Amino acid sequence: MASPSKSYTHRAMVLGALTHGSFVLHRPLMSEDTKATLDALHMMGSSVGGSSSAVRIHCDELAPAAATIDARNSGTTMRLMTGIASLLPSKTTLTGDESLVKRPMAPLVDALKRLGAEVSYLGRQGMPPLKVAGPIKGPVTEIAGGVSSQFISSILIACTQKEDDTVVRIGGEMVSRPYVDITLDVLRAFGGDAQESKDGFSVKGGQRLHRDEYTVPGDYSSAAFALAAGAVTSGDVTVKNLDMSSPQGDKAIVEHLKGFGADVRTTSDSVRASAGRLEGLEIDVKDTPDLFPVLAVLGAVAEGTTVLKGGTNLRYKESDRIATTTAFLRAMGASVRPTEDGCEISGGVTLHGADVETHGDHRILMAAALAGLVSTSGTRIADDSSYTVSYPGFLRDMHQLGCRLEVRR
């Protein structure tokens, strides 16, 4: 069974609070990241209850947080809640952990300032922590599309709740476009909308969102690791609760596995992957940066050359994922050359065990564990359970697949 989607959970939690009533979120992903969003909503006036299988949110009206909101390691929490804070008349302070305060915020901040928000940086210019106050108003803003789609998702959600209509112009090429599609998908499920135009979006102000309950779909980003495990070993892995009609960009893992040569079969709600003769591919990861580490492992195992490109925004994730992915694969014996926007891999080598440093990045931990499945000796991964950020069930699911993983503290 696929883990619930982190992207859908974040957005449904925020929109559930904006319904200004009672809302139940079924099958949410209760990870460290989504808990940060839930805690932020609670600090801004929402009552939160329920269980890990169904979260209840009731909010009559959001209010500025009396204390500093700690987004922890969650870039999505930081970006979405900055947009929400810009709707409120008094100042809200937001911060995060050591990794998050190094991640960019300037494109979102600049776009909100064009709508009249008061935003000040409390540390390094262009990065958290921030102090934000609104309410935003005005007909037009512009936001850079080339750094993070989370900026665009944040401002689209916020603009549905400001009083007047907004034209949101996107500057340059939009990266990670499928995550904006997820935002639009959830927004429409709550009765909201943002109309795409030639150079961005048009958003009606004062939208009344409504939804009594919502069920989070399965997550392709997390399922990619299990499916790739089926492809690189002699195993046969089926992941259920994956909607093949989903707008999730990471659904592309299905076609990528087929392209590498894995045996992949799908139904309307499941994907099955098993080994085949894997051969290298050229893949543009502009819209699917979260797949980069797992695709790099597949490239190291496959015969021939794999080229991953288009991932300039990989430099601004929980780690510089181009550098960290290159480092752990090289440590395990792979031939990898980093490029400005990805890497080139000469595959077909036998990987060996190594000591891997994840730099606290959950996707590097999971990709290194995947590589460890086909290494000739044990792999030790130095990490403090960062997988709980996005995939709390990772160890359990890997154990079910027969992978021997042991956490040592």
- The pTM of the full predicted model, rounded to 2 decimals, is 0.95
pLDDT one-digit tens code per residue, 112-161: 999 999 999 999 999 999 999 999 999 999 999 999 999 999 999 999 99
E strands, 225-298, in order: 236-240, 263-266, 270-274, 282-284
How many other CB atoms sit within 10 Å of the CB of residue 395?
17
**Alpha-carbon separation of residue 365 from 196, 383, 391, 395 (angstroms):** 37, 7, 11, 11
Buried b (16+ CB within 10 A) or exposed e, 88-108: beebbbbbbbebbbebbbebb
Check pLDDT > 80 for residue 384: no
Domains 6-215 and 220-400 are alike in CATH topology: yes
Count of beta carbons in the 10 Å neighbourhood of residue 139: 10
292-351 per-position pLDDT tens digit: 999 999 999 999 999 999 999 999 888 999 999 999 999 999 999 999 999 999 999 999
pLDDT in tens, 260-301: 999 999 999 999 999 999 999 999 999 999 999 999 999 999
- Is the per-residue pLDDT at 81 higher than 90? yes
- Please say whether the beta carbons of 129 and 109 come within 8 A: no
Domain boundaries, the chain: 6-215, 220-400
Point out the catalytic residue in the list 290, 361, 383, 397. Answer: 290
In the predicted model, what is the mean pLDDT of the chain?
95
Q: Please tell me the distance from the alpha carbon of residue 372 to that of residue 375, in angstroms, as a whole number.
A: 5
- What is the DSSP annotation of 346-358? EE-PPP---EEE-
Q: Which of 326, 338, 339, 333 is nearest to 367 (CA)?
A: 326
Fold of 6-215: UDP-n-acetylglucosamine1-carboxyvinyl-transferase; Chain (3.65.10)
Tell whether the torsion through CA atoms of 10, 14, 17 and 22 is positive or negative.
negative
- Domain 220-400 matching CATH 2.40.110.20: the answer reads no
Helix then strand count (H, E) for the chain reads: 12, 21
Q: For residues 358, 363, 369 and 374, what is the CA-based torsion angle, rounded to 10 degrees?
A: -110
Cβ-contact 170, 194 below 8 angstroms: no
CA distance 149 to 168: 13
The 8 Å CB, 24+ separation contacts for 115-124 are: 115/86, 115/141, 115/162, 115/166, 117/86, 118/91, 119/82, 119/86, 122/93, 122/95
Q: Are 172 and 199 in contact (CB under 8 A)?
A: no
Q: Is 290 a catalytic residue?
A: yes
Q: What is the C-alpha R_g of the chain?
A: 21
